[in-house]
Amino acid sequence: MSNPDQHTRTTHARAGAPASAVPALTDCQAILRILALWQKQAARLITGIMLALMALGLGLVLMQASGLRLASSVLGEVVITTALLRWVGGGRIILRYAERLFAHDAMFRALADLRVWFFHSLAQGAAAGLGFRRAGDMLSRLVSDIGTLDGLYLRILIPFACACLTLPILVLQLGQQSVALAGVVGLLFACSAFLVPYLIARSGRAEGERLGKNLASLRIGVLDLVGGLREIRAFGAEGRILAHVQADDASLLAGQMRLARRAAYANASAFLCGQVAVFLVLLAAIGVFSLHVSPLAAVGILFLTVASFESAAALTRAGLQSGAMGAAARRVVEVAASTPETVQASTQTDAPEDTHIHLEDVKFRWAPDRPLVFDGLTLDIPQGARVAILGPSGVGKSSLAALLLKAAAPEAGSITLGGEEISHIRAASLRRRIAWLSQATHLFDDTIRANLLLGRPDATEEDLWTALEEAAVADVVRTLPDGLDTWLGEGGIKLSGGQGRRIALARTLLTQAPILILDEPATGLDAQTEQDFLRTLNNVTKGRTVILIAHRLTGVESLDRIWRLSGGLATAAAA
Amino acid sequence: MFASLAVRYKCLPMSGDKAAIRGWTRTQSRLGRQAARPVIIFGLLSSLLGVGQAWCVATVLGQGLIGFVSGAGAHPHDLWPVFAFAGLAFVRALIMALSDTAAAKAGINARRRLRGEVLASILTGGPALLRKTHSGELTTIAVDRVEALDGFFARWVPASILWFAAPLLILVPVCFVQPHAALILGLCGAAVPFGQAVFGIGAAVASRNQFLAMTRLQARFLDRVKGIATIVLAGRADEETQRLGQAADELRQRTMKVLRVAFLSSASIDCAMVLALVVIAITDARQAMALLSGGASPALAATLTGGLFVLLVVPEFFAPLRSMALAYQDRAHAQGAATAILDLPAPAPRPSPEGARTVNASGVTISLEDVCFTWDPARGPALDHISFTVPAGETVILAGPSGSGKSTIMELLLGFIQPDSGSVRLNGAPLESIVPDALSRMVSWIGQKPVLFAGTLKDNILFARPDADEDDLMAAVKAAAVDQFLPSLPEGLETRIGEGGFGLSGGQAQRIAIARAYLKNAPILLLDEPTAHLDPATEKSVFESLQRLALRRTVVLATHSAAAHMFNGRRVDLQSGCVVARQGVA
């Protein structure tokens, strides 16, 4: 039995909303959490940064050396040799290439780790419940969030590290000539590299959030337009809907324009900082304001100043992106962080052989602010029984499946399998005993074969065809040009809804789980096929416990017990 | 394995489509260039100002060095170049800000135009489009694909002009100051496009080889995450996690193969720039050394100032080339978007056929004469010589298993598709000769699951007729029995529903569809399995409402529900696109 706090966390994460029970993370904390996850790649990531620093250093030296080489010639001496210049130049090219290659490789490794971690945490935690709520869109947004995070290392961390190195070099070099000049130029550099990006990041955050909302409402508008094409055509509403979507589009674009304008001014001010620095160096070279610098040194520091400020320009862009990056990190960390089940892992056992299911006085609701789905539900399903649970949609039939599979936890009451509390049974072990065909069962963008093998990875060709035969879809698969190797496409779109459901059913039948929960398995079948199919089901599931969830019976099912769900209770109906 | 890959990717552009994509990109570039003209002009101005600044700096430093050489420590310095530098810096900052803003504006205007076009295309394609393309995919094209085109218009289009115009412009003053330096710069600059082309082609070849695998692996992650509940509940989480890790690693290796070549192209710019810097520094230094023997001559001053000037100009010279290399990926995005956008139908308004007309709206007789229709030749005809008639004010029930052609007939009657042969007539007039607006005024349609738009309940009902007054609205609400569940909603008719709003049950949603149909009050009523997702009790009450709605209208009801016998009408049984039985005189 999980405690109420855990329960809150699970349901909230499932709904995709920021969990109120989990202290809200700041962007900064979320980014630190992501960085902590990248520890395994730390060596590579740091090497990438080192290479970037070295490449930058050589870049600064190259610019300075070229200037000095020319300037020193008037003194009749060669301060910078041709060979040195060549080495610095060649080194700069090679280091820059190596840096790019290495940094990208490290970043892809880190992203791969992040993806695997994200998937793993989802699978450990709230994920099971996702099938009961349509959260596909939220998930795809999270997937693109992970993609966004590639900028964290390449576009923020590396330029930041480079700026941190440039500042002391610049100040030290200038300091040898004039401390006052070094101080002022250092300050200007800090303004350009740190202050302006920070300010633009801060001011961009509010605007960024608004942009996010505008983009979301545009997306909803377009989804409505696309999903409602039939309604729109049937009601002749093309013009009205288009105007509506374009209004959303206009407010998004206006927001982007505001942000772009602000970014343009930030860029210009960062540029001006650099120009003021060069201006001061020039004044020093002339000897104004008692800032006296020798002409040769003036050439060196001038070239250095120009090159340094150029490298700082990348940080203004980083500041602009940091808001989006922080928000992406927050969403990814928050969703994946709610892993309530791992807490009890130590005390859990494997599922017993006996498959007698018993629910006693179960109370359940999806969220504290939602009404009770079950209020004292009691059910008894003996081993090998074939039972039906009936009720209109929305009465909690799917919630029952979620409870049995530990995708959700009851508020009160007990659920036992073979006499063992299921909260004490390891989820993975429990789920190996119970196969579930839900309304939202996902067909993967893969071959029919791969989809079926998810049910039983070691199934033979013959097993696959038997399962397809039993699910009354073998004929359809046989007519496909590639047979079992036909690619299903996203969400199984290459088959009709009914055919897709039957493939999913075949996958469920293929498992060797002793308990099958079939949630409306005959949806999308016509009356005759449905009856044939249910008759087949009577034969193929011999010896297994079958829990058939439906809103009505056709009369051909052979059942041991029938319950009707209503008002949070189950009442026995005639078998 | 390979066969299945081929099936999966047959939607990708084949060589025949490449010309279309190139054509699209070219058209967009032309349109983009007009919008990008201010960006290009500001960019050229900025380069010129940069050259001016370099001259100021070189003058100051040159004078200092010459003064140093001639031993005149207190050599009087001109102050004007310093202040000219500051003035130019100000103007340049302003121009940069203007240029950034203009670029953003170009990107925004182009996206507004393209999104409008894409939406128009989707509306033109209509529901038939949904058969080919997933609704999520269409949304992605209209929202994200178009959004990703920002870089193409804001960065790539101006960069594609500036990369040669700005360096050429910079070469002019350099040529006046130091012809030999201009030659070096020019040669190094000319090598860049060459290097870009060589490595760019290499990268393109590499990425073509990797593209399929990369797309597949990226899609795999998204797909697995979407189906995570299925994986977890099947107990396969660990295996899938492991496989995902392998896939991610493979993705990295393949991406790196492409990048290894792609980065060479930016390395070629680095290389050219370093070469220019080093060669100019060495040759000018050698020249200055040679002149030094003559003391602080004007020639030495010119060489020194000129040399410093050219060195300072080198980064300015290569900056536009660098921006082009950076913007190159924006061009790749555009090609990706072009593939998706070109798949959509042309955004033309549906042409009104010759002699288009409206049909007397009261009492419509529907007749199908020998209608054939095929969605996919591989699967055979969906409708095979179908004929039946629905007299005005009567009901025909289309019965048959899923896939027997019921929905296809509905789409024909809605005018979403046209028959391959035969004709659909309303009061004797061929359907395709009826003005689309007139047709949509005559027909009400209720499908399996009505789409509820994001908005209030009231907006959703008024969708059928936005200009309806309060009385009409309330009458429709009452007739469809929407008022029965209104008290359970937090804000009655003003409750927000649809995406992100209050969830309605299937029966409640269907009642809203019925209210829409009442409000619309059209003479033809098409019902496409309206109770497919409802339980028997709800089904019965929805059918009762539909019966009332059906009074005095011409109704086609497609269903395989046993409860359909509540409708006393004719019945047509379909199987695999053929009429297998008729009851009544259909």
Contact state of B224 with A444 under an 8 Å Cβ cutoff: yes
- Under 8 Å CB pairs connecting chains A and B tally to 418
A interface mutation test: which of B133, B232, B533 has the most A CBs within 10 A?
A: B232
* A contacts of B445 (beta carbons < 8 Å): 230-231, 234
* A contacts of B563 (beta carbons < 8 Å): none
Q: How confident is the model at residue A510 (pLDDT cuts 50, 70, 90)?
A: confident
Specify the residue for token string 């250095």: A304
- At residue A348, φ and ψ (nearest 5 deg) are -95, 155
Instruction: Compute the distance between CA of residue A128 and CA of residue B459 in angstroms, rounded to an integer.
Output: 36
* Assigned token pair, A381: 């399903």
- In Å, what is the CA distance from B469 to each residue of A343, B40, B458, B497? 59, 54, 12, 21
Which range (A557-561, B97-101, B578-582) has the least confidence? A557-561
The 10s digit of each residue's pLDDT in B308-334 is: 899 889 988 998 988 888 787 777 777
Which range (A371-385, B283-297, B355-369) has the least confidence? B355-369
Determine the average pLDDT of the residues in B180-202: 84
Contact state of A119 with B119 under an 8 Å Cβ cutoff: no
The 10s digit of each residue's pLDDT in B426-478 is: 888 888 888 777 888 888 888 877 878 878 888 888 888 888 888 989 988 88
* B contacts of A131 (beta carbons < 8 Å): 229-230, 233
A interface mutation test: which of B146, B225, B398 has the most A CBs within 10 A?
A: B225
The reported pLDDT for the residue numbered A18 is 35
- Domain B366-583 adopts which CATH fold? Rossmann fold (3.40.50)
In Å, how far is B26's CA from the nearest CA of chain A? 24
SS3 for B330? helix
Q: Where are the alpha helices (DSSP H) in B293-376?
A: 298-342
List, as ranges, residues 131-150 from A with C-beta within 8 Å of B: 131-132, 136-137, 139-140, 142-143
The reported pLDDT for the residue numbered B3 is 33
Q: How confident is the model at residue A321 (pLDDT cuts 50, 70, 90)?
A: confident
- Nearest chain A residue to B250 by CA: give it: A112
The reported pLDDT for the residue numbered B358 is 58
Residue B12 has pLDDT above 80, yes or no: no
User: A557's torsion region: left (phi>0), alpha (psi -120 to 50) or beta?
Assistant: beta
Could you write out the three-class secondary structure of A445-456? CCEHHHHHHCCC
Which residue has better confidence, B167 or B349? B167
Picking from B100, B280, B451, the nearest residue to A227 by CB comes out as B451
- Nearest chain B residue to A107 by CA: give it: B252
Determine the average pLDDT of the residues in B13-37: 78
Neighbouring C-beta atoms of residue A353, cutoff 10 Å: 9
Question: Checking DSSP bridges between strand A569-573 and strand A561-566, what pairing results, if any?
Answer: antiparallel
The reported pLDDT for the residue numbered A302 is 87
Q: How confident is the model at residue B22 (pLDDT cuts 50, 70, 90)?
A: confident
pTM: 0.77
Domain residue spans in chain B?
17-342, 366-583
Picking from A267, A275, A310, the nearest residue to B89 by CB comes out as A275
Residue A131 has pLDDT above 60, yes or no: no
Per the CB < 8 A criterion, the answer to whether A27 and A327 are in contact is yes
The reported pLDDT for the residue numbered A455 is 81
Instruction: Compute the distance between CA of residue B288 and CA of residue A334 in angstroms, rounded to an integer.
Output: 65
Q: How confident is the model at residue A16 (pLDDT cuts 50, 70, 90)?
A: very low
The reported pLDDT for the residue numbered A97 is 92
Contact state of B288 with A70 under an 8 Å Cβ cutoff: yes
Share of chain A above pLDDT 70, in %: 83
Query: Average per-residue pLDDT in chain B?
Result: 81
Highest-pLDDT range among A333-342, B118-127, B432-441, B494-503: B118-127
Residue A349 has pLDDT above 60, yes or no: yes
The reported pLDDT for the residue numbered B250 is 82
Contact state of B451 with A299 under an 8 Å Cβ cutoff: no
Determine the average pLDDT of the residues in B367-386: 84
Specify the residue for token string 């999520």: B136
Residue A324 has pLDDT above 50, yes or no: yes
How many Cα atoms are found within 13 Å in the side-chain-facing hemisphere of B92? 24
The helix (H) or strand (E) run that includes residue B497 is: strand B496-497
- Nearest chain B residue to A307 by CA: give it: B315
* Assigned token pair, B240: 């899938």
Per the CB < 8 A criterion, the answer to whether B15 and B57 are in contact is no
- In Å, what is the CA distance from B280 to each residue of B50, B266, B406? 19, 21, 79
The 10s digit of each residue's pLDDT in A463-474 is: 899 888 888 788
Computed from CA positions of residues B552, B558, B563, B569, in that sequence, does the dihedral angle turn out positive or negative? Answer: positive
Which residue has better confidence, B470 or B217? B470
The 10s digit of each residue's pLDDT in B402-412 is: 678 888 888 88
Instruction: Compute the distance between CA of residue A316 and CA of residue A194 in angstroms, rounded to an integer.
Output: 8
The 10s digit of each residue's pLDDT in B486-501 is: 887 778 888 877 654 5
Which range (A534-538, B188-192, B255-259, B460-464) has the least confidence? A534-538
Output the CA angle B197-B201-B202, nearest 5 degrees: 120
Residues in chain A: 575
Contact state of B248 with A112 under an 8 Å Cβ cutoff: yes
Residue A100 has pLDDT above 50, yes or no: yes
Picking from B115, B134, B275, the nearest residue to A249 by CB comes out as B115
> Is any Cβ of chain B less than 8 angstroms from the Cβ of A90?
yes
Per the CB < 8 A criterion, the answer to whether A197 and A228 are in contact is no
B interface mutation test: which of A74, A484, A502 has the most B CBs within 10 A?
A: A74
The reported pLDDT for the residue numbered B240 is 82
Contact state of A231 with B451 under an 8 Å Cβ cutoff: yes
Instruction: Compute the distance between CA of residue A190 and CA of residue A184 in angstroms, rounded to an integer.
Output: 10
In Å, how far is A552's CA from the nearest CA of chain B? 7
Residue A134 has pLDDT above 60, yes or no: no
Specify the residue for token string 């700096």: B57
Instruction: Compute the distance between CA of residue B326 and CA of residue B462 in angstroms, rounded to an integer.
Output: 50
Picking from A226, A234, A526, the nearest residue to B445 by CB comes out as A234
Which residue has better confidence, B507 or B425? B425
List, as ranges, residues 96-125 from A with C-beta within 8 Å of B: 96-97, 100-101, 104-105, 108-109, 111-112, 115-116, 118-120, 122-124
The reported pLDDT for the residue numbered B261 is 81
Residue A345 has pLDDT above 70, yes or no: no
Which range (A35-44, A127-136, A348-357, B137-146) has the least confidence? A127-136
* B contacts of A457 (beta carbons < 8 Å): 236, 239
- Nearest chain B residue to A116 by CA: give it: B245
- Nearest chain A residue to B264 by CA: give it: A97
Instruction: Compute the distance between CA of residue A7 and CA of residue A368 in angstroms, rounded to an integer.
Output: 9
Output the CA angle B326-B329-B334, nearest 5 degrees: 135
Question: Checking DSSP bridges between strand A420-421 and strand A412-417, what pairing results, if any?
Answer: antiparallel
Domains of chain A (ranges plus CATH)? 4-338 (1.20.1560.10), 351-573 (3.40.50.300)
Residue B7 has pLDDT above 90, yes or no: no
Determine the average pLDDT of the residues in A128-136: 47
The reported pLDDT for the residue numbered B42 is 95
Domains B17-342 and B366-583 agree in fold: no
The reported pLDDT for the residue numbered A7 is 35
Residues in a beta bridge with B398? B558, B572
* A contacts of B115 (beta carbons < 8 Å): 246, 249
Class level of CATH domain B17-342: mainly alpha
- In Å, what is the CA distance from B570 to each residue of B372, B444, B554, B564? 22, 20, 12, 11
**Which of the 8 DSSP states describes residue A26?**
P
User: A211's torsion region: left (phi>0), alpha (psi -120 to 50) or beta?
Assistant: alpha
Closest C-alpha among A204, A219, A211 to residue A320: A204
> Is any Cβ of chain B less than 8 angstroms from the Cβ of A483?
no
The reported pLDDT for the residue numbered B4 is 33
Closest C-alpha among B4, B584, B51, B31 to residue B309: B51
Per the CB < 8 A criterion, the answer to whether B407 and B465 are in contact is no
Instruction: Compute the distance between CA of residue A26 and CA of residue A392 in angstroms, rounded to an integer.
Output: 44
Contact state of A123 with B282 under an 8 Å Cβ cutoff: no
B interface mutation test: which of A96, A139, A217, A233 has the most B CBs within 10 A?
A: A233
Instruction: Compute the distance between CA of residue A550 and CA of residue A556 in angstroms, rounded to an integer.
Output: 14
Closest C-alpha among A573, A129, A570, A574 to residue A361: A570
Contact state of B271 with A529 under an 8 Å Cβ cutoff: no
> Is any Cβ of chain B less than 8 angstroms from the Cβ of A258?
no
List, as ranges, residues 434-473 from A with C-beta within 8 Å of B: 435-436, 438, 440-447, 454-455, 457
* Assigned token pair, B426: 């309303």
- In Å, what is the CA distance from A324 to each residue of A78, A110, B570? 50, 19, 60
